[in-house]
């Protein structure tokens, strides 16, 4: 399989779905003339024209609301937010319109739209541009929340998200756009709501998604040098969450470490830890460990930022605690 970047995988998914379905269009800031703030939409304006690749004004509320209406009448909009921190401006449109319209209309109105862009911390973007907001969206019935951690998953999950008849929050990461990985040639999709075991192991289950998947895999390599074989489970979609795959892994390893770069309180990581504790209680030999961002706004300082975020070293320490706790 060819190796391409995460950015290129997303671009392929967008181009293929726009080619396949004339109702798909892209709207957002700098997606057309500038080719995308992170070049994910590069070349799409030239291929599909300004009616389907639309530069929007700096008004997330406006172009998100427009897209909700477009989805209700049969189009399939893809809204690019320059960062999910800016999606907070459109929170009312997403939560009270996109997420609830199918329910409030008794199923008469569908809202097949994707809201995509980078989520979480990058490098020294400070408190208002480094927030991992997936838990806020996963809290809301009616939304699906997807966080792919590899180029292959990014392409397959984005194609499935675009074809879904419900609003999908599709969260990427600035630090992953240049990451390379094998991506199959030809048509393929990856279903939403299905977890994937990224590494087999027998001693401890590590659950991680998005860019934390890379940190977990690095931690697993180091643990293997100590004779500890960690199994890595990537939920990929946290709403709906396939917890059964996670539970089956915990039944095998009897230990669990959950990793997320969001805050710990009421997070997706906390929800996963709760489900493991309640559904696999009799199989656990030690309490579930949660490795998260520190419960503070993100500092600008590079050293402090490193201290706030989860790292392979913190994951290794949590795995050791789960194994050697007395």
Residues of the chain with CATH 3.40.50.920: 196-324
Pick one of 3.40.630.40, 3.30.160.270, 3.40.50.920, 3.40.50.80 as the CATH number of 196-324.
3.40.50.920
Residues marked as catalytic: 60, 129
Give the per-residue pLDDT at 1: 86
What is the C-alpha to C-alpha distance for residues 138 and 146, in angstroms, rounded to an integer? 9
Give the per-residue pLDDT at 325: 77
Residues of the chain with CATH 3.40.50.970: 3-182
Q: Decide: helix, strand or coil at residue 238.
A: strand
What is the C-alpha to C-alpha distance for residues 55 and 39, in angstroms, rounded to an integer? 14
Question: In the chain, which stretches have pLDDT less than 50?
Answer: none
Q: Which CATH architecture has domain 3-182?
A: 3-Layer(aba) Sandwich (3.40)
Q: Decide: helix, strand or coil at residue 76.
A: strand
What pLDDT digit, counting tens, does each position of 262-316 carry?
999 999 999 999 999 999 999 999 999 999 999 999 999 999 999 999 999 999 9
Q: Dihedral (C-alpha) 267, 151, 32, 15: value to the nearest 10 degrees?
A: -120
- Record the pTM: 0.96
Instruction: Determine how many CB atoms are found less than 10 A away from the CB of residue 282.
Output: 6
Give the per-residue pLDDT at 326: 59
Report residue 227: phi and psi, to 5°: 85, 15
Give the per-residue pLDDT at 209: 98
What pLDDT digit, counting tens, does each position of 233-258 carry?
999 999 999 999 999 999 999 999 99
What is the C-alpha to C-alpha distance for residues 83 and 133, in angstroms, rounded to an integer? 11
The per-residue pLDDT of the chain, averaged, comes to 97
């Amino acid at each position: 399989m060819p190796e391409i970047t995460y950015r290129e995988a997303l671009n392929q998914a967008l181009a293929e779905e726009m080619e396949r379905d004339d109702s798909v269009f892209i709207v957002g800031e700098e997606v057309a003339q500038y080719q995308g703030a992170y070049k994910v939409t590069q070349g799409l304006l030239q291929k599909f024209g300004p009616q389907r690749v639309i530069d929007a004004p700096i008004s997330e509320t406006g172009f998100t609301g427009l897209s909700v209406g477009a989805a209700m009448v049969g189009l399939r909009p893809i809204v690019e937010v320059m960062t999910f921190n800016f999606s907070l401006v459109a929170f009312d449109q997403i939560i009270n319109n996109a997420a609830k319209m199918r329910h409030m209309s008794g199923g008469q109105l569908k809202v097949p739209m994707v809201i995509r862009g980078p989520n979480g911390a990058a490098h020294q973007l400070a408190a208002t541009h480094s927030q991992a907001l997936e838990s806020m969206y996963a809290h809301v019935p009616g939304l699906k929340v997807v966080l792919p951690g590899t180029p292959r998953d990014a392409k397959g999950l984005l194609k499935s998200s675009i074809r879904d008849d419900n609003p999908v929050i599709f969260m990427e990461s600035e630090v992953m756009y240049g990451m390379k990985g094998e991506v199959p040639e030809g048509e393929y999709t990856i279903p939403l709501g299905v977890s994937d075991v990224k590494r087999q192991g027998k001693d401890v289950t590590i659950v991680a998604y998005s860019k934390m998947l890379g940190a977990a895999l690095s931690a697993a390599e180091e643990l293997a040098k100590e004779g500890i074989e960690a199994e890595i489970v990537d939920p990929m979609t946290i709403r709906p969450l396939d917890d059964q795959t996670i539970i089956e892994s915990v039944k095998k390893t009897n230990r669990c470490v959950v990793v997320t770069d969001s805050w710990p309180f009421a997070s997706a990581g906390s929800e996963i830890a709760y489900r493991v504790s309640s559904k696999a209680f009799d199989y656990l030999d030690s309490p579930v460990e949660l490795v998260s961002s520190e419960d503070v706004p993100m500092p600008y300082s590079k050293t402090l930022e490193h201290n706030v975020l989860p790292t392979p070293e913190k994951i290794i320490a949590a795995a050791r605690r789960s194994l050697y706790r007395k």
